[in-house]
């Protein structure tokens, strides 16, 4: 098994096999994953862990800014991805729940001027939803 370490382990988080695997899985995922999907991947290569352990670890990584949590409107499921300098937004299909990555972030350029007053923007969410080609033809 190829095991890729992160360049540096985030400070303040205890390193465990599960957590290492969690970051590895997210790093190599083509799309954001739900906690269940992450859990399923971890279980393949490691001794059993519980889903609540996965959630607890995710919360720790989120607090450190290592992982970003995305919640999708009208959809109870939260998905997770590694925080990247080049972040991505996704359009979500209401029919099949597939996520379609957007080419670029439309918010980033215009946001600072819109707020003004020295407000420091540290992040944003953008929710785009509708029906994909396949679902809109049904």
Binding site for Zn ion (CB under 5 A): 93, 95-96, 105, 107, 132, 135
Least Å from the CB of residue 52 to Zn ion: 31
The count of other CB atoms within 10 Å of the CB of residue 137 is: 7
Using alpha carbons, select from 32, 42, 25 the residue that is nearest to residue 98.
32
Least distance CB 104 / Zn ion (angstroms): 8
CA–CA distance, 91 with 122 (Å, rounded to integer):
22
Element (H or E) spanning 4, and its range?
A: none
Q: How far is the CB of 131 from Zn ion (least distance, A)?
A: 6
């Amino acid at each position: 098994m190829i095991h890729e370490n992160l360049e540096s382990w985030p400070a303040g988080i205890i390193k465990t096999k599960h957590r290492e695997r969690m970051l590895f899985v997210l790093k190599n995922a083509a799309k954001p994953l739900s906690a269940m999907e992450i859990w399923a991947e971890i279980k393949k290569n490691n001794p059993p862990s519980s889903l609540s352990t996965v959630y607890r670890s995710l919360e720790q990584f989120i607090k450190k800014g290592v992982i970003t949590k995305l919640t999708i409107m009208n959809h109870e499921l939260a998905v997770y991805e590694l925080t990247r300098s080049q972040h991505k937004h996704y359009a979500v299909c209401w029919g099949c729940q597939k996520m379609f990555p957007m080419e670029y972030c439309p918010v980033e350029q215009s946001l600072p001027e819109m707020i003004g007053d020295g407000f420091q923007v540290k992040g944003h969410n953008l929710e785009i939803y509708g029906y994909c080609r396949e679902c809109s033809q049904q």
